[in-house]
Amino acid sequence: MALPKHSKYLIVGAGIHGLSTAWRLAEKLTAAGESVDGRVTIVDKAGIAAGATGIACGVVRNNYFQPAMRKLMAHSVSIWESDPEAFSYHPVGYMQISPESMREDVKQIHAEQQEIGYESVFIEGEDESREYMLDMFDDWQAKGITSVLHEKKGGYANNTKAMYGLASKVEALGVRIITGVEVTGFTRNNATGSVAEVQTNQGNIGCEHVVIGAGPWVRDFWKMLELPAQIEVKDLEGNVHSNVDMWRFWQLEEGVLRVEPELLKTNDGKMPPVLHVDTDAPLYSDVDGSLITDQLWGIYYKPDWHFGGIQGGAAPYEVKKSAEEVQIDPYGPSSPEFVSGPEFAHMWVSALAHCHKRFEGKMPKYHKEPSGGVGCFTADSFPVIDTFSGNVTVIADSNHGYKMLGLGCLVAEELLGEKQELLEPFKFSRFKEGKLHPVSNSPYPWS
């Protein structure tokens, strides 16, 4: 497909944020009686869902300690629920199963979920939590659990299938998705400093607005826009920190236990919620009984027919390189960087066995599957959604991405002149102003 010479809205990235932005833009333009053809264009250097979106776990949850994230996710869940068939969405719910050190944080999450009308149940106390889990799984045996937050909404979506469903909606509205087009730079308007053209390996495209939805490649576009690699950050106590790295990279560890997905059915024969277990109980190897860790650890898992088994992951680890040194190409199934190693497999399968007797002795069933990948995190590990150079909107999701189907919809509405209060807490200015998001006691960097 030939490149257009001009597109009013040029979107970079055919993942979840680029596609959802184009979808809402096209819907709004169509509703106003305006033509979409030639006005909304998506370019991607590879293909639809070829990057982080295509290997995402696909979990959709509202389990956030941060009020702004919780509200943003409630909005996104409503978008997933609007067409579960097209989005290959499974509304099975989500469970946060936690130790005493996290109880008060999770209790607060539950209380604030009630305030915004997000349905969930909170169970606290060791005996009460165990009974609640045994009522669902008769072989439940996790230790050190004193609370359970059971979100009745949420669940998971099949990553690529969902995006092809979204792409069908986009193309049906007249949006052009052009693949094999790599953005190499920007041509500025000398008078205003705004971007007049997007330079690509296939030629230049004139535009009025640019949206960057490039997942872990956001660092590279940030550099193209000549934005700072180090920033000033005022923390929640009012202390100012200079030369803080804008970008950090974490290796996300996920994998698949190649068993029948039905192995995780509940006592009543139904498919379970997505399960997230954090505990400070010692974790012992299911292979030889050795101690793996006596520190706080966590895993998440779900039955998944797309991955062909029980799929999930554990807390990521930080990549010990500077942001400039991290190489995230090539991104795809052939790259060994994105396949979790034997240490993860040993820990994760042993953790599954710690939680359910049915997983004991299943280590030989672990399957190395490209999943997880390298995540690009902002200075405070939460998204930045803001406009730079006058007309370039950057969606830096800080690896919260796949679940936030509604994020691109909000960006589109703001592009069309409708200010979105849900996006205000994610402006770049928060770093300098000290308007950071609170941090919980979870072992995960994004919580």
Q: Which alpha helices (H) appear in 139-188, and where do they start and end?
A: 159-172
**362: CATH:** 3.30.9.10
For residue 160, is it within any domain?
yes
pLDDT at position 51:
85
Same domain, 84 and 217: yes
For residue 263, is it within any domain?
yes
pLDDT at position 331:
43
pLDDT at position 332:
44
Same domain, 82 and 161: yes
For residue 143, is it within any domain?
yes
pLDDT at position 372:
61
Same domain, 206 and 127: no
Q: Print the domain residue range for 419.
A: 1-90+155-229+381-436
**Cα 228 from Cα 248, distance rounded (Å):** 14
pLDDT above 90 coverage of the chain, percent: 80
Q: Look at residues 347, 362, 377 and tell me which one is the last residue of a structural domain.
A: 377
**Considering only 29-43, 56-70, 252-266, 308-322, which range has the smallest mean pLDDT?**
308-322
Q: Which of the four pLDDT bands, split at 50, 70 and 90, describes residue 371?
A: low
For residue 312, is it within any domain?
yes
**Cα 289 from Cα 280, distance rounded (Å):** 17
Same domain, 291 and 424: no
Q: What is the mean pLDDT of the chain?
A: 92
pLDDT at position 341:
63
pLDDT at position 317:
76
For residue 241, is it within any domain?
no
**Considering only 56-70, 220-234, 383-397, which range has the smallest mean pLDDT?**
56-70
Same domain, 160 and 148: no
pLDDT at position 186:
97
Q: Which of the four pLDDT bands, split at 50, 70 and 90, describes residue 441?
A: confident
| Burial bucket for residue 334 (CB in 10 Å: 0-12, 13-18, 19+) | exposed
Strands 317-318 and 248-257: antiparallel
**Is 335's pLDDT higher than 70?**
no
Q: Look at residues 359, 377, 395 and tell me which one is the last residue of a structural domain.
A: 377
Same domain, 278 and 417: no
What is the number of residues in the chain? 447
**Is 264's pLDDT higher than 60?**
yes
Same domain, 305 and 184: no
| The residue to which tokens 């409503």 are assigned | 78
Q: Look at residues 358, 377, 396 and tell me which one is the last residue of a structural domain.
A: 377
Same domain, 188 and 217: yes
Same domain, 195 and 326: no
Using one digit for the tens of pLDDT, what is the confidence trace for 126-140?
A: 999 999 999 999 999
**Is 300's pLDDT higher than 50?**
yes
For residue 279, is it within any domain?
yes
Same domain, 117 and 22: no
pLDDT at position 316:
78
Using one digit for the tens of pLDDT, what is the confidence trace for 388-425?
A: 999 999 999 998 888 999 999 999 999 999 999 999 99
Using one digit for the tens of pLDDT, what is the confidence trace for 73-127?
A: 999 999 999 999 999 999 999 999 999 999 999 999 999 999 999 999 999 999 9
Supply 404's token pair.
Answer: 């936030």
pLDDT at position 219:
94
For residue 103, is it within any domain?
yes
pLDDT at position 254:
87
**What residues contact 424, with CB distance under 8 A and at least 6 apart?**
none
- Number of domains within the chain: 2
For residue 300, is it within any domain?
yes
Same domain, 297 and 426: no
Question: Average pLDDT for residues 57-66, to the nearest whole number?
Answer: 90
E strands of 347-390, at which residues? 366-367, 372-377, 384-388
Q: Which of the four pLDDT bands, split at 50, 70 and 90, describes residue 369?
A: low
**412: CATH:** 3.50.50.60
Same domain, 423 and 371: no
**Is 334's pLDDT higher than 90?**
no
